[in-house]
């Protein structure tokens, strides 16, 4: 009897470890790529120039994630849940990616013109092109391979886009031409080449053709919840950098007190914090689909799963947070002396590692219960609170104001996610039935 019980448990453990190894490998490559790119840029540009780069990317990445990122999730749902034909859905997804690319270029260019003074006009549309391709087509292609062959094959293809930025940075650094403008152009060109190679590869493996298909407003409506979700995440993650550049009012005429320097100092420290949370993202990616499994009393089951997984991330935070206070000299040695002002940013933002580990699993549990509108409400509330705090504090306090706004947003996010999950458990005790297959499209 015990063997029959232990065997399924062992199988689930092997699957969980396999999923985590795939996600872990992906995040490990992302860490190495980010580290290489970030190090070379830090050593080749000034703090102010790095601030200009992150200001532009803050806009283009935010618009790309909201306008293109939804297409991947819509594509998967269209085939898996709605039973649509793979080839037709793939062609429609490519059409949506094309439309999103145009939208991203136009909106990003307009926002950059309104918010970022004194930067070359072509930076924003060029970066927007690369970001739209990375968020859209480069995500749809491996998803199509996953649907037609296997997750392992698609996982290997997902590694390709991770190489675009480090390859471009290394090539420019090796030729002594690593500037902000050259980096933006090179990463976009590399992204186009890599994505073209991915299209050719998936075509040979599956027979899928790179042709545009029909676009329907009903399908766009199906993807709107995903778009709003991505918009909320990207506002929290990216938009504070261009806001610092636009709103900060220097209190002196010293070059070190300029808006570009404020952005550069803040963005460099923030980047280290993002890299510190990548193992948490790996665990989130490996366990994401577990919250979609059909189980008895899903609210209680998902609460228990969220508590177990959060315990792992809290243990990780207990190791990483003290370490981030002890590696100041190592970070300056790796990234250069210009990085030293960003050490204070790391010390101020170190709590974000803890908060990111707290929020993701209850948030995914709400997804598993079909509470998609509540999820969007959480994101909208936390994002709006963060933007308002930024608008109030950045003009006088610069990056300190942006850091405070980040904490405000993350605390609201985590508190609301846990609070609503506990509410769902109480509702389930009163007889409510939850399902992850609840419609995702607006009514």
Question: Residue 5: its pLDDT value, please?
Answer: 44
| pLDDT tens-digit series, residues 296-344 | 778 899 999 999 999 999 999 999 999 999 999 988 988 888 889 999 9
Rg over alpha carbons for the chain, rounded to the nearest Å, is 22
Domain extent listing, the chain: 27-238, 244-443
Inter-residue contact 242 to 115 (CB < 8 Å): yes
pLDDT at position 22 is 61
**Phi/psi at 177 (5° precision):** -125, 30
| Residue 309: predicted pLDDT | 95
Tokens 């703090």 identify what position?
Answer: 47
Where would I find the H helices in 68-163? 69-80, 86-115, 123-135, 137-148, 151-162
Tell me if 278 sits within 8 A of 27, measured CB to CB.
Answer: yes
Show the low-confidence residues of the chain (pLDDT under 70).
1-24, 151-152, 252-256, 292, 294-295, 435-443
- Residue 234 and residue 381 in contact, taking contact as beta carbons nearer than 8 Å: no
Q: What is the pTM of this model?
A: 0.84
Helix (H) or strand (E) holding 418: helix 399-429
């Amino acid at each position: 009897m015990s063997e029959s019980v232990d065997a399924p448990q062992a199988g689930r453990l092997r699957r969980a470890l396999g999923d985590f190894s795939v996600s872990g490998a992906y995040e490990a490559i992302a860490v190495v790529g980010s580290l290489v790119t970030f190090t070379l840029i830090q050593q080749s540009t000034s703090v102010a120039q790095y601030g200009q780069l992150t200001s532009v990317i803050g806009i283009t990445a935010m618009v790309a994630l909201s306008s293109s990122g939804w297409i991947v999730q819509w594509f998967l749902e269209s085939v898996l849940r709605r039973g649509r034909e793979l080839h037709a859905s793939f062609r429609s997804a490519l059409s949506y990616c094309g439309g999103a690319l145009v939208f991203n270029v136009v909106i990003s260019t307009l926002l950059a013109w309104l918010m970022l003074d004194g930067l070359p006009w072509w930076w924003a549309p060029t970066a927007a092109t690369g970001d739209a391709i990375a968020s859209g087509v480069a995500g749809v292609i491996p998803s199509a391979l996953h649907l037609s062959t296997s997750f392992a094959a698609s996982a290997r293809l997902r590694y390709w886009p991770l190489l675009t930025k480090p390859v471009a940075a290394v090539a420019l650094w090796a030729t002594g031409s690593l500037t902000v403008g050259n980096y933006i152009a090179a990463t976009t060109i590399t992204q186009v080449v890599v994505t073209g190679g991915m299209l050719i590869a998936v075509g040979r493996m599956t027979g899928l053709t790179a042709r545009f298909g029909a676009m329907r407003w009903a399908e766009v409506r199906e993807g709107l919840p995903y778009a709003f979700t991505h918009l909320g995440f990207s506002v929290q993650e990216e938009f504070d950098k261009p806001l610092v550049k636009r709103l900060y009012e220097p209190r002196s005429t010293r070059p070190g007190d300029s808006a570009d320097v404020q952005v550069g100092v803040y963005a460099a420290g923030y980047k280290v914090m993002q890299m510190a949370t990548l193992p948490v993202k790996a665990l989130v990616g490996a366990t994401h689909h577990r919250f979609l499994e059909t189980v008895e009393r899903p609210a209680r089951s998902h609460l228990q799963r969220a508590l177990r997984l959060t315990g792992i991330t809290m243990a990780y935070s207990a190791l990483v947070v003290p370490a981030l206070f002890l590696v100041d000299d190592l970070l300056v040695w790796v990234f250069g002396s210009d990085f030293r002002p960003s050490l204070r940013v790391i010390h101020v933002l170190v709590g974000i590692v803890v908060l990111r580990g707290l929020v993701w699993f209850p948030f995914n549990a709400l997804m598993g219960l079909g509470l998609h509108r509540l999820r969007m409400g959480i994101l909208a509330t936390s994002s709006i609170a963060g933007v308002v705090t930024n608008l109030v504090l950045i003009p006088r306090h610069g990056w300190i104001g942006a850091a405070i706004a980040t904490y405000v947003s993350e605390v609201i996010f985590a508190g609301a996610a846990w609070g609503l999950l506990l509410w769902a458990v109480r509702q389930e005790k009163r007889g409510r039935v939850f399902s992850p297959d609840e419609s995702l499209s607006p009514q």
